[in-house]
Amino acid sequence: MIGKLKDMTRSRDGKEWIITFSTPENFSEKYDELADKEVSVEIKQARKHRSLDANAYCWVLIDKIAEKTGLRKSDVYRHSIKEIGGVSDTICVMDKAVDRLREGWEKNGLGWQTDTTKSQLPGCTNVILYYGSSVYDSKQMASLIDSLIQDAEALGIPTISDKEAEQMIGKWAVKSEEHHAG
């Protein structure tokens, strides 16, 4: 659910915090179902998600690069994800948990990858967790497409103009805003 935080106050007895937010979505049915029950809530800044048109173009570029280089499409995609910024987290994990974390993370999909580096903490390993493009916002997807365009152009593969790429990413943003407003 998308909304805006409006207020935060403390209960009269001081034991609880009361957080108020607004949303254009009709939540009344779900509210009736969950009222006075313990629920799980995650609050984070809303971000625009990627465009399906942008996703389609991403895979067109991957296909052309794979055809030109003889690489597998999956390898082109996975390599490209590791080349852009802002799509990974690095965490320090106990050595005995590394394999289990990596296996679980990589089950999320083709782009969900891991790498490891040595930690300065004894008995620990740093694990780099790369997110697949299925969860990218428009800015992250634009970075992926820009990287793929650069790779394609270096191989002599025709691409769309910068303006066309910006419009393709921007079209989703307009659709997303209309969806959330209605």
Domain extents for the chain?
52-181
Say how many C-beta atoms besides its own lie within 10 A of residue 115's C-beta: 13
pLDDT digits (tens, 9 = 90+) for 13-62: 999 999 998 888 888 888 888 888 898 888 877 766 666 688 889 999 99
Q: Is the pTM of this model over 0.95?
A: no
Q: Which two tokens stand for residue 70?
A: 């003889």
Q: Is the pLDDT of residue 68 over 60?
A: yes
Provide the 8-state DSSP code for 108: T
Alpha-carbon span 53 to 104, nearest angstrom: 29
Q: 179 vs 28, 47, 115, CA distance in Å?
A: 19, 14, 37
Q: For residue 58, give the amino acid letter.
A: C
The enclosing H or E element of 129 equals strand 124-130
pLDDT digits (tens, 9 = 90+) for 106-119: 999 999 999 999 99
